[in-house]
Amino acid sequence: MTRNTARGIFITGTDTGVGKTVAMLVLGIHLQKAGFNVGIMKPVQCAGKDASFLKKSLHLACDLTHINPYLAPEPLSPHLAFSRIKNEINASKIITAYQHLQQHHDIILVEGAGGLLVPLRKDYLVADLVRDMDLDLIIVARLGLGTINHSLLTIQAARAHGLHVRGIIFNATRPIMPGISQATPLGLPERTNPIIIRQLGHVAILGTIPYLKNFRRQEILTQCHLNLRLIIDRVPDASASQVPRQLAAWDKKYLWHPFTQMKDWLADEPLVISRARGSYLIDTQGRRYLDGVSSLWVNVHGHGHQTVNRFIGEQLNQLEHSTLLGLSNTPAIQLARKLVTIAPIGLNKVFYSDNGSTAVEAAIKIAYQYWQNTGCSNKRLIAHLANSYHGDTLGSVSVGGIDLFHQVYRDLVFPTMAVDFPDCYRAPRGKKYPDYAFECLERFATTLKKRHNRIAAFVVEPIVQGAAGMLMWPKGILKRMRELCHRYKIIFIADEVATGFGRTGKMFACEHEGVSPDILCLAKGLTAGYLPLAATLTTQEIFNGFVFDYKDQKTFFHGHTYTGNPLACAAALANLEVFEREKTLRTLVPKIKFLRERLNLFYNLPHVGDVRQCGFMVGIELVRDRQTKEPYAWQERVGTRVCQEIRKHGVILRPLGNVIVLMPPLSIAMDELTHLLDATYRAIEKKT
């Protein structure tokens, strides 16, 4: 859904005194002449009267408190100027004022304070403000000698902060030749510097402002030449153009989408995402959507996170890829060390691959071969929970039990042992939780006692069975199952592809019951949702089961070409850095509590059968009849209909059958979380 908001552009300078305010005025007058209702903002001002000068010159009626929320009396760097009056600049106050102005204008020109790297607070720069306001940048540079270096540095700094530079405006702050009128032709540097900056900086030149003796409207209109098309171009909220329609057509012509009935897809209009920031995805038409399932359960700290961007960027300049077959690389080593430090105790070795399915695939092959290598070749059977999901490659499909996805491949997969999962909501007739849970456990114990000589490994999704519909494990079962596996020498594989990296409120779901698996599979959130990477961690003991003379033929002959890709490993290192720096797990606690309280209200809806939550993993199961738990028929696609409805509220969700899944980025703000819950509530209310 479109947020009906004005477009904004942030105007920064290569330095102080390059004429940002003059550029603001010139831009304002030209845009007014072109028919725009122009608003201005000077969020932070240290001495001077720029804001009131602009307001007066552009005949604006808006209140100065919105135009200039922060004013300090001394001409100093903002962090200093405001600390001297015992005030501190707060971005959210600026954003609130900006949003107020948005309601009254078509376009808002926001003037910075000094350059991009000027601190507003001790650890908060002008560049951070531009990012948080989500604005594109126009850079004002001095026209003439000495501008190349300053301009290119500013462009570089902008891009390093993830900002989009829309272009550069050159301003002649002095007469080109003192004493001679401005009609004089430009000198050599004035003519050539902009061109070299355009080439080296890959930026558009938006215009040149000659030296202006006074600021008369007529003089500004006739003497300053601006490329207005480029200036207002690429504004996120630009109305529908040809480009999105063309992309949609090419999508239908060339793409085959995963887990998608393409007949339905081709009959519909595809939603094409072209940008993302924080908790929001932005489509090709500038519409913003809350990313309610973290782009399929992967995003952790929000989109376009500065630290993750920086780590990947720096790695890109060092080494993009080199193989782990016969060589090693720096970030792969650093990440392995880090993962071993944070993983449940006893997991000491890291085997990389590319995605969740391959992480499980490798785990199964390692477990199987371990027993072959160590002389227990009867242990060949892999056990798994009956309704599990471990991925889509054939090995992981073999240990999966979701018929809708897996039935068709039954002839291709290897035989396994399915173990009943104690589903607390849909226990068989006459059985009740927790008795039923312990009954399942008893049965599991009996089976192991009888057949452990043949069982190589038991693979589970600990605490939450994700794709099965966000099914929660009854308390204590994981720990008991793990103990039984230990007793009967069965390799216990925890597939934390979905639950890892804070999803359940702890770094790993196993921690909820103090469990250390023999093998741990990680993917999805590992790179904060940036790049495909997976890790299969094992104990030293399992690793030792592969360390023999080459001639013994006990090597683990498995590996993917992009194993340990340095860019992906750098993203994962950034992910863990942000967990520490932003204290992600701690800030999650009140959000999880809020979520729990608000989710209780969903029982007011008659077709909500069960609401399941563990941390930031939520499943809301819709049923035809709450009393009998009769499900909606799958043909009705009630989950899909609710998720289509919720798009009208600017939220993206993807259901699991009749279960509405909420799985927002861990970084989601409280008001965004409120919006997500409200929209979900209303969509379910409407469609059930």
Closer residue to ligand PLP, CB minimum distance, 357 or 536: 357
DSSP output for 659-682: EEEE---TT--HHHHHHHHHHHHH
Q: What is the β-pairing status of strands 288-291 and 651-652? A: parallel
Task: For residue 261, count other CB atoms closer than 10 A to its CB.
Answer: 9
Closer residue to ligand PLP, CB minimum distance, 279 or 527: 527
Binding part of the chain for ligand PLP, among 350-358, 581-589, 646-654, 661-669 by CB under 6 A, reads: 350-358
Q: Looking at residue 269, what DSSP letter applies?
A: P
Closer residue to ligand PLP, CB minimum distance, 497 or 611: 497
Sign of CA dihedral 639, 641, 645, 650: positive
3-state secondary structure 33-86: HCCCCEEEECCEEECCCHHHHHHHHCCCCCCHHHHCCEEECCCCCHHHHHHCCC
Asked if 361 interacts with ligand PLP (CB under 6 A), we say no
CB 600, min distance to ligand PLP, A: 26
Residue whose C-alpha is closest to residue 101's, from 21, 34, 8, 28: 8
- Site track 387-416 with ligand PLP (rule: CB under 6 A), x = hit: --xxx-------------------------
CB 558, min distance to ligand PLP, A: 16
CB 298, min distance to ligand PLP, A: 8
Binding part of the chain for ligand PLP, among 285-293, 354-362, 478-486, 640-648 by CB under 6 A, reads: 354-362
CB 515, min distance to ligand PLP, A: 16
Asked if 343 interacts with ligand PLP (CB under 6 A), we say no
Query: Binding to ligand PLP (CB under 6 A): which residues in 466-485?
Result: 466-467
Query: Coil, strand or helix: which one is 152?
Result: helix
CB–CB of 377/383 below 8 Å? no
Using Cβ positions, the residue closest to ligand PLP within the complex turns out to be 356
Closer residue to ligand PLP, CB minimum distance, 132 or 392: 392
Among 283, 361, 495, 672, binds ligand PLP (CB under 6 A): 495
Task: For residue 596, count other CB atoms closer than 10 A to its CB.
Answer: 13
CB 283, min distance to ligand PLP, A: 24
State both tokens at 77. Answer: 């760097």
Query: Binding to ligand PLP (CB under 6 A): which residues in 552-611?
Result: none
State both tokens at 335. Answer: 């990440």
CB 441, min distance to ligand PLP, A: 21
Among 286, 356, 462, 545, binds ligand PLP (CB under 6 A): 356
Closer residue to ligand PLP, CB minimum distance, 498 or 569: 498
Measured CA to CA, the distance from residue 470 to residue 615 in angstroms comes to 12
Length in residues, the chain: 688
CB 389, min distance to ligand PLP, A: 6
Closer residue to ligand PLP, CB minimum distance, 499 or 667: 499
Binding part of the chain for ligand PLP, among 432-440, 460-468, 478-486, 549-557 by CB under 6 A, reads: 460-468
Number of residues that bind ligand PLP (CB under 6 A): 15
Binding part of the chain for ligand PLP, among 78-86, 494-502, 626-634, 666-674 by CB under 6 A, reads: 494-502
State both tokens at 205. Answer: 């030149």
Query: Cα angle at 461 between 458 and 467, to 5 degrees?
Result: 130
Asked if 299 interacts with ligand PLP (CB under 6 A), we say no
Binding part of the chain for ligand PLP, among 175-183, 230-238, 269-277, 461-469 by CB under 6 A, reads: 461-469
Asked if 619 interacts with ligand PLP (CB under 6 A), we say no
CA atoms within 13 A on the CB side of 97: 20
CA dist 461 → 138, 414, 513, 604, 679 (Å): 49, 20, 13, 31, 29
Closer residue to ligand PLP, CB minimum distance, 131 or 390: 390
3-state secondary structure 560-623: CCCCCCHHHHHHHHHHHHHHHHCCHHHHHHHHHHHHHHHHHHHHHCCCEEEEEEECCEEEEEEE
Among 355, 369, 373, 565, binds ligand PLP (CB under 6 A): 355
CB 340, min distance to ligand PLP, A: 21
Measured CA to CA, the distance from residue 491 to residue 276 in angstroms comes to 41
CB 384, min distance to ligand PLP, A: 11
Among 135, 347, 523, 661, binds ligand PLP (CB under 6 A): 523
Phi then psi dihedrals of residue 614, to 5 deg: -140, 110
Closer residue to ligand PLP, CB minimum distance, 497 or 519: 497
Residue whose C-alpha is closest to residue 682's, from 643, 626, 638: 643
Asked if 497 interacts with ligand PLP (CB under 6 A), we say yes
User: Alpha helix (H) ranges present in 329-455?
Assistant: 330-342, 356-373, 394-398, 403-406, 435-451
Closer residue to ligand PLP, CB minimum distance, 350 or 359: 359
Integer Rg of the chain from CA: 30
Among 285, 357, 373, 387, binds ligand PLP (CB under 6 A): 357
Closer residue to ligand PLP, CB minimum distance, 423 or 461: 461
CB–CB of 7/236 below 8 Å? yes
CA atoms within 13 A on the CB side of 302: 17
Binding part of the chain for ligand PLP, among 3-11, 345-353, 383-391, 402-410 by CB under 6 A, reads: 383-391
Binding part of the chain for ligand PLP, among 136-144, 147-155, 200-208, 353-361 by CB under 6 A, reads: 353-361
- Please name the residues in contact with 49: beta carbons below 8 A apart, sequence gap of 6 or more: none
CB 466, min distance to ligand PLP, A: 4
The distance of Cα 46 from the centroid of its chain, to the nearest Å, equals 36
Closer residue to ligand PLP, CB minimum distance, 293 or 467: 467
Measured CA to CA, the distance from residue 84 to residue 317 in angstroms comes to 41
Q: Would you tell me which residues interact with ligand PLP (CB under 6 A)?
A: 355-357, 360, 389-391, 461, 466-467, 495, 497-498, 523-524
